[in-house]
Amino acid sequence: MSLPLEGLSAIVTGAGRGLGRAEALELARLGAAVVVNDYGRPGRDGSGEASAGPAEGVVAEIRAAGGRAVAHLGDVADFETARGLVDLAVSEFGKLDVLVNNAGILRDRMVFSMSEEEWDSVIRVHLKGHFNTTHFAAVHWRGRAKAGESGVYGRIVNTSSEAFLAGSAGQPNYAAAKGGIVGLTTSTALALAKYGVTANAICPRARTRMTQDVFAGFAEPASETELDPLSPEHVAPLVGYLASPAARGVNGQLLVVHGGMVAIVDRPRVSAKFDTAKEAFTYEELDGLLTPHYASLPPGETFAAAEVLALKRG
């Protein structure tokens, strides 16, 4: 019996640790050959010396289990490095079929304290990094389709966050980048559908090096044999599914995933509508319509996703 991803090749960025590692291992378990990308810097803020160790360690795990994998050390926020990453997948495995964008850093600060560099660095790694790899993967798939290849197969899985859905007071850069990734995903889904490519985004909750303080105090496993409710291993199967032929009808979607739960997030919907009684609104008319409307809402409903505020941030 063949595996769901047998014969396919995949790139996973930021795959040396945490979520990316779990996703790379899952794709390999499902039969994919994997390019394991990781810059290897030890600090969750992107600081420290780059190292091939994390990526090569995951490659060794995949090979030990009988899979195929190759390491790529590089910063995907660099345009030419992203080109080289896609080129590596094609040269090693003949083509690229799956792109999982996961690489990211944190530079947490309140908006009134954040420096320009703290803003730029997070937007660069998360949002530009997602764009760079998506761009070169899209060029690859479109080129094959334009050359007359039938049945081009492409899957993109991007990593957003509930910080974008609910806001995160100490992470304006991160929340903005993750919101941008959703916009990039839906635009890409529309642009590439005709070539046989889908693009979806996930909002994972997982206890990793980047989120260790976020989930401090949250439920932990009762024993060493019990799976952590916030383990990355709860997220990886959804990535495997979205990368598979079974998900051909899933495109432009946003899914929240953690601890044995997957939630499909609706696109924003109109909750109320007001029309002017005259040719154009005036301040007075808007005040008479909108002020009472918002005053009538229950506490907390003026924010879009109160339930998601379980992601506590100082």
Active site residues: 161, 174, 178
Rounded to an integer, what distance in angstroms lies between the CA atom of residue 184 and that of residue 178?
10
> How would DSSP label each residue in the chain?
---TTTT-EEEETTTTSHHHHHHHHHHHHTT-EEEEE----SSTTS-S---SHHHHHHHHHHHHTT--EEEE---TTSHHHHHHHHHHHHHHHSS--EEEE---------TTT--HHHHHHHHIIIIIHHHHHHHHHHHHHHHHHHTT-SS--EEEEEE--HHHHH--TT-HHHHHHHHHHHHHHHHHHHHHGGGTEEEEEEEE----TTTTTTTTTS---SSTTSPPTT-GGGTHHHHHHHTSGGGTT--S-EEEEETTEEEEEPPP--------SSSS--HHHHHHHHHHHHHTSPTTTTSTTGGGGGS---
58 CB neighbour count, 10 Å cutoff: 26
Quote the tokens at residue 208. 């990793």
Q: 92 and 70 in contact (C-beta within 8 Å)?
A: yes
Tell me the chain's radius of gyration from C-alpha atoms: 21
Q: Determine the Cα angle at 41 with ends 8 and 216, to 5°.
A: 95
Rounded to an integer, what distance in angstroms lies between the CA atom of residue 314 and that of residue 297?
26
Name the one residue in this structure whose structure tokens are 């049945």.
Answer: 151
